[in-house]
Each structure stands twice: as C-alpha cells, then as structure tokens.
Amino acid sequence: MGAKKLSVVATRRLPEVVETRMSELFDVTLGPDDGPMSREALAAAMRNCDVLVPCLSDHIDGALLAQAGDRLKLIANYGAGVDHIDVATARQRGILVSNTPGVLTDDTADMTLALILAVTRRIPEGLALMQAGTWKGWSPTAMMGGRISGRRLGILGMGRIGQAVARRAAAFGMQVHYHNRHRLRPETEAELEATYWESLDQMVSRVDVMSINCPHTPSTFHLMNARRLKLMKPTAVIVNTSRGEVIDENALTRMLRAGEIAGAGLDVFEHGAEVNPRLRELPNVVLLPHMGSATVEGRIEMGEKVLINIKTFDDGHRLPDLVIPSMQ
C-alpha cells in the first residue's frame, strides 16, 4: 500500500492542466466555482487539510489562522504577493508559507506599458467612440494624445518587474528614472540606462509618467499620498500594476477630477473589487480588473510553482519559494 497522499484544498478554480496534475499527486478538494470562499468555509477547509492553496482574494489573518487547528502545515499561495496572509502568525503556529515569484514579471511589465500607451494615446476613448457608432471620420485635431518617446518615466520599485518595465520603456524611447529602497548595482543601472533618485519627492515632481511597481507593505501603504500626488506635474499620468494600497485612491480621484493630474491607468485598487465609482466616470482613467498576470502561460507557470512547493514539502525538503516574515 502506498503512502497516504497529502490533503490539499484549492480555494479557487485553477487552469485545468494545473488541477489535473494536482489531483494526480495529491488528495485534492477544488473550489466548487470561481468565486471566493466565505470566511467560514475557509476556516473549515483549513481545519481539514494538510495544505491550503489560497489566492489573493483569500484574506488569511491571525484570527482565521487561530481556527486552523493542528493539521494545516503549508499555505502554498497561488500568487507572488503575500500581503493577504499573516505570514508571521502562520510561522508561529508552525505553518509554512510559499509563493510563486518570478513567473509573472514579463506579463505584468507588458500590462504596465499597455496602460501607459492606453492613457497617453486615449485608446479607451477611441474605442468607446467606435463602439457607440458616433465616429464621423478623421479630423486633424480629434482624439489627440501624446507620444511617449522622450518622456521621463519614474519607476517606484525597481525589482524584477520594475526592471522589466524599464527595458520595455527604453525600447519606446522613454527616459528611465527610478526610486528604490536600495540602489541598483552600477552595472545594472548602466544596462538599464536608469537614473536613481534617492528622494522620491524629487523624482515624482520631475517625471511625466509614474509607474508603481513596489509591493504593499506597512512602509509602502499610501506611499503615493495626497501630498506626494500634488508634487506631480499636471500633465503627468500615473499607472499602477502592483498593489492598490500604495496609492491614496481618494486623493488620486480628487486630483484627476480637478485636472491636477492628466490621467491614470489602474489594474489594482485600494479596496479590491470595490472601485471608487467616481473613478469610473472619468474619461482620462483606464481601469482594468486586475489583469496584469492574466495570461494562460503565466497562470500555468504559477500553478507549476505551487505544485513544486507542495511536492518539495511532501518530500521533506526546504521549499524553493519559502516566504519568511521579513520578506513582507
């Protein structure tokens, strides 16, 4: 008789190829649909499995972990960000946490450039005009946006994704500037042709496009607050494909409505799916439903990392993508 398989609960439906392989390796319970589990259902699942595979829509705080019991030993997060998981409390309770870093770098960077182009070239406005059937033909002064070549791009957060954005922006002829917790190595800076700003305030006031590419941590919450947003040029635009909490969404909305910032492209929001309704009214704002990682290839690669982490745990080895509290 073979060894008993690990009991694994996935809170949401995953790509079919990932679910199939997971079911072959483990005793798997899959989410019944593509909606998030209720808090009560999540607590019950955590009491009855060895491994939980949550997504960013599952908020696993200390109070929920206190209901997990002793069986749960691994939270194999389906995603790179872990700000929705109380990692410190999990570790105190003897529960390991893993994530899926690195596989979404190119997808998220592509979406960042797409948003920059969409906002500066007014693509959604043109699309709406065509879909409404109200376009009357070409005009020399209609739907004029701005070219991005020659513009200064300020990148907040120069990790893997920030650097991938920098490479793409350089190919479009943008001047790359960045602010990061730590300055890059000189050779990396030279390769990216990137200018480092120790002062975020000074960089914000000088760039034409701001790209948010840092994680959400206590130190980055509302890093782009009302005071800092007011430093931006009135002709500048801001895009965010990282975490909504980094920007004070209410302050941004007020400034966009007042014309104090030219536009915004947002793939993430401060309160998750609860998007400020006043943002939806603005023609100079492009809103997307957290699509930065939404490629078939990326989602499958995320699942493969989850599987590797669970299998490594099952084999008694150190997880390749182990998250420790200091990483948050």
Overall domain count for the chain: 2
Q: Is residue 12 part of a domain?
A: yes
Q: Is residue 71 part of a domain?
A: yes
pLDDT band (50, 70, 90) for residue 1: very low
Indicate the average pLDDT of the chain. 94
Q: Are residues 302 and 245 in the same domain?
A: no
On whether the CB atoms of residues 162 and 138 are closer than 8 A, the answer is no
Q: Is residue 2 part of a domain?
A: no
Q: Are residues 137 and 231 in the same domain?
A: yes
Q: Are residues 26 and 153 in the same domain?
A: no
Give pLDDT tens digits for 182-195. 999 999 999 999 99
Q: Are residues 198 and 92 in the same domain?
A: no
Q: How far is CA 99 from CA 81, 177, 295, in A?
A: 7, 29, 18
- Residue 63 CA from chain centroid, whole number: 25
Q: Is the dihedral of CA 320, 325, 326, 328 positive or negative?
A: positive
Q: Are residues 71 and 12 in the same domain?
A: yes
Q: Are residues 52 and 176 in the same domain?
A: no
Q: Is residue 163 part of a domain?
A: yes
pLDDT band (50, 70, 90) for residue 213: very high
Q: What is the CATH number of the domain that holds 70?
A: 3.40.50.720
- Mean of pLDDT values over 83-92: 94
Q: Are residues 137 and 261 in the same domain?
A: yes
Give pLDDT tens digits for 15-42. 999 999 999 999 999 877 778 889 999 9
Q: Is residue 48 part of a domain?
A: yes
Q: Are residues 160 and 188 in the same domain?
A: yes
CA within 13 Å, CB half, 86 = 13
Q: Is residue 1 part of a domain?
A: no
Q: Are residues 94 and 109 in the same domain?
A: no
Within 13-122, strands assigned E span 27-30, 51-53, 74-76, 96-98
Q: Is residue 72 part of a domain?
A: yes
| pLDDT recorded at residue 36 | 85
Burial class of residue 73 in the structure, from the number of CB atoms within 10 Å of its CB (0-12 exposed, 13-18 middle, 19+ buried): middle
Q: Are residues 57 and 135 in the same domain?
A: no
Q: Work out the number of other CB atoms within 10 angstroms of the CB of residue 314.
A: 17
Q: Is residue 115 part of a domain?
A: yes
Give pLDDT tens digits for 147-190. 999 999 999 999 999 999 999 999 999 999 999 999 999 999 99
On whether the CB atoms of residues 89 and 63 are closer than 8 A, the answer is no
Q: Are residues 278 and 140 in the same domain?
A: yes
Domain range for 238: 105-287
Q: Which residues on neighbouring strands pair with residue 175, listed in sequence order? A: 152
Q: Are residues 227 and 265 in the same domain?
A: yes
